[in-house]
Structure 1
Amino acid sequence: MAVEPRKGHRIWLRYSDGSSGQVDLSNLSGKGVFRVWDHPGVFDDVHVAPHGAVAWNEEIELCPDALYIELTGKPGEDVLTALRAQAPSA
């Protein structure tokens, strides 16, 4: 997975299955913990955390699966079913 900041509180994402594109996060900007994005340079610090979340710091992380659903428009249940199928069995 790869992530890059874009103007207007958007991020560009690329997933291992080849899906890629922008997700608009401007609806979060200025609300709660996301107020920090309004400080110069903070939004540009987006990265993929070691555990796979899209993160800016230890307080702001977004679920990569939810972002995938937003990006692709695939039904959440389809995505979760595919993830369950990929999970190693115990």
Structure 2
Amino acid sequence: MYIKDDICYAGELQDGIKVTEAKPLRGGMMLVTFSTGEKRLFDTTLLEGEAFRPLANDEIFLHPVLFHGVITWNNGEIDIAPEYVYKHSYAYDGMAM
């Protein structure tokens, strides 16, 4: 865990990586674009803990908001560090959609 610009993040500090776009897909999947230009697929259904349970509700999951390069939902009540998303996602080649 680390703090940067008064925001507390889980994971390891990886300077400069941010989420620039987060597109919800079916089944809890997201197509995430990072500040590196990479597009990766991230499965939100694998997130553990009470804090992430609201993402099972499409009314919440389908409306992510980016805040300083971090994916947030539900007026900022739910967030996930871009480093975590990057580390736990896999490369997207654009052919699967």
Distance in 1, matches of 2:70 and 2:29, equals 16
Structure 1 residue identity aligned to 2:57: H
- Per the alignment, do residues 39 and 64 of structure 1 end up closer, same or farther by CA in structure 2, a change over 3 Å counting? same
Gaps of 5+ in 2: 1-19, 92-97
Structure 2 residue identity aligned to 1:13: V
Q: CA offset at residue 53 of structure 1?
A: 1.1
User: Which secondary structure does the structure 2 equivalent of 1:18 belong to?
Assistant: coil
Report the TM-score, using the length of structure 2 for normalisation: 0.61
Moved beyond 6 Å, runs of 4+: none
Whichever of the two has the greater Rg, that structure is: 1
- Per the alignment, do residues 62 and 6 of structure 1 end up closer, same or farther by CA in structure 2, a change over 3 Å counting? same
User: Which secondary structure does the structure 2 equivalent of 1:8 belong to?
Assistant: helix
User: Which secondary structure does the structure 1 equivalent of 2:51 belong to?
Assistant: helix
Deviation per CA, 1:15-34: give whole Å up to 9, x if none.
122210211111227x4122
Instruction: Report if the CA contact (8 A) 1:2-1:13 is conserved.
Output: yes
Gaps of 5+ in 1: 74-90
Relative CO higher for 1 or 2, CA cutoff 8 Å, sep ≥ 6? Answer: 2
Distance in 2, matches of 1:40 and 1:72, equals 23
